[in-house]
Chains A and B, each alone.
Chain A
């Protein structure tokens, strides 16, 4: 099919090959917030556990 394939052969040339730090800042922030969420929720239940001893 001779349709516009732009997103099927996606941006082969645009995807950066280097992984310089600035390009993953958002990922770091995102994962670290997950970490924070895990620590907070775990602590909350741990204190609930201690409270109920």
Chain B
């Protein structure tokens, strides 16, 4: 089998770019912790409210600037439906589902993860600007899917 010289140049460039992409992604994930949301914790999806932390859904302060938000996604809303944090806060979202698959998505941020029943997923975000942030579900979950939303109020 014979590769044309130009094809060698092209494949070297192409494969080289792919290797660079993978290296950048791998280093930023495994060395700098920018991992995709892959939380391994599990719950009983038919009894999510029986055990901590989802027996008391809501916001909990962890330290001066860090909060943990325990949220239950369900058709077709989130519980709680609204949370409020001061600007500059880092919020760690722990979300599970009490019925079907949903997502927890904040447009214009990297918080965009799947919420599968039986599992807890999580992501963290620092809110550096005040305002009202929309949270929506972008995984089809039934006839009322497009009504599923909540808000995060980031206040001065």
Contact = CB atoms under 8 A, between A and B. Distances in A.
Given A19-B4, A38-B17, A52 B109 contact: yes
Q: Helix, strand, loop or mixed for chain B's interface? A: helix
Interface in A26-46: 27-28, 31-32, 35, 38-39, 42, 46
Contacts, number: 32
B129 to A, nearest CB: 12
13 contacts: A25-B6, A27-B6, A28-B9, A28-B10, A31-B10, A31-B14, A32-B10, A42-B17, A42-B21, A49-B110, A52-B108, A52-B109, A53-B34
A25 B24 CA distance: 31
A37 to B, nearest CB: 11
Contacts of A35: 10, 13-14, 17
A35 B34 CA distance: 26
B32 to A, nearest CB: 10
A27 B10 CA distance: 9
Contacts of B10: 28, 31-32, 35
Contact of A39 (B9, B17, B109): B17
A21 interface: yes
Interface residues of B, number: 14
Given A32-B13, A38-B17, A39-B17, A53 B110 contact: yes
Q: Helix, strand, loop or mixed for chain A's interface? A: helix
Contacts of A31: 10, 14
A15 B35 CA distance: 52
A42 to B, nearest CB: 6
A39 B17 CA distance: 7
